[in-house]
Amino acid sequence: MSQRFRAWVVDKSNDSFSLDLKELTVDDLSPGEVVVRVAWSGVNYKDGLAGIPDGNVVETYPLIPGIDLAGTVVHSDDPRYKEGDEVIVASAQLGVSHDGGFSEMARVPGDWIIPLPEGLTLKEAMVYGTAGFTAAMSIQRMEENGLNPEKGPVLVAGATGGVGSTAVAMLAKRGYTVVCGTGKSSEHDYLRQLGASEILSREELSGAKRPLQKRRWAGAVDPVGGETLTYLLSTMDFGGCVALSGLAGGPKFSSTVFPFILRGVNLLGIDSAHISNDFRRKVWNRLAADLKPEGQLPYIGAEEITLEELPRAMSTILEGGVRGRILVQLS
């Protein structure tokens, strides 16, 4: 396929680093059995890290960043997919060691593809993106560990971000009492619109004075880590679950064995990249069904940008200046 298309490419060698919008052909892309015309992508925190020289997420250069995409198959050597199929590719090694979604065309292994579930559009799939998938996976894992709405309130940290916003809306849809933690006092109305019943300041979630404090939460979605995780572990109820998926607040936290041996707290690591495709499909099917907050998706993914505007968005997400999801329209 000789058709030319545009893509952002990061490159790094010795002391030089670049992020350039280039014209490529399919032959320039990472190998794979399926070629997809990308309709939508989304900007994730990991994508922001890919756009800086010391982000430590890109495993090979040069590379097209973008850890998720949704689009239409234009060529397939995999018998499971045919021209015209609408598909999702999210997480796996996309945008990390394999050319990703910030491109008008992508070539990917067939094993990474999720057929677009009935009940979702391509745009809605990228309102979720990897962030929404991570939120849904957090809920899936906590519910597998016994969480249900009758157990008590669930706290969502970093609630205005991509993982946080989608988690709030999904949990509210499922009937949970949702409490949000955020450092953005201007976004309280936004969080209440998504379904929050209570909002706590970032300071209230910063660390813990004692290894065990008053029991407050049946579960927690934590894309923040750091001192927030320290607080969450000390305030979980008996048998509570913390689904940890990020480090926006830092990679280090302090705790003791007491939450685990005296309250049976479960700390669940959420890694959306290294999971089976069967599990991935299961979660995406829930995103099209019982986890889909019908009226809230346009509100979560309200900002849409062009390919040319990506560098600004990648910087903004690292600065904590994003509310909900930034969608990239490619075709």
Rounded-to-integer distance, Cα 187 and Cα 159, Å: 10
Assign 3-state DSSP to the chain and report helix, strand, coil percentages, each to 5.
35, 25, 40
Burial category of 249 from C-beta neighbours within 10 Å (exposed 0-12, middle 13-18, buried 19 and up) = buried
Tell me the Ramachandran region of residue 239: left when phi exceeds 0, alpha when psi lies from -120 to 50, beta otherwise.
left
Domains plus CATH for the chain? 5-116+301-329 (3.90.180.10), 129-269 (3.40.50.720)
Averaged confidence pLDDT in the chain: 95
Q: How far apart are CA 252 and CA 34, in angstroms?
A: 40
Higher pLDDT: 2 or 204? It is: 204
1, pLDDT greater than 80: no
Q: How far apart are CA 37 and CA 44, in angstroms?
A: 20
Q: Summarize pLDDT for 61-76 with one digit per residue, the tens.
A: 999 999 999 999 999 9
> pLDDT class for 99, splitting at 50, 70, 90?
very high
pLDDT digits (tens, 9 = 90+) for 3-35: 899 999 999 998 899 999 999 999 999 999 999
Residue 327 has pLDDT above 80, yes or no: yes
Q: Is the pTM of this model over 0.85?
A: yes
- Does residue 137 surpass a pLDDT of 90? yes
Burial per residue of 102-120, b for 16 or more beta-carbon CB atoms within 10 angstroms, e otherwise: bbbbbbbbbebbbebbeeb
Cα–Cα distances (Å) from 193 to 56, 79, 187, in that order, read: 35, 44, 10
pLDDT in tens, 243-293: 999 988 899 999 999 999 999 999 999 998 889 989 999 999 999 999 999
Q: Check whether 49 has a pLDDT greater than 90.
A: yes
316 against 15, higher pLDDT: 316
Sign of the torsion angle spanned by Cα atoms 279, 283, 286, 287: negative
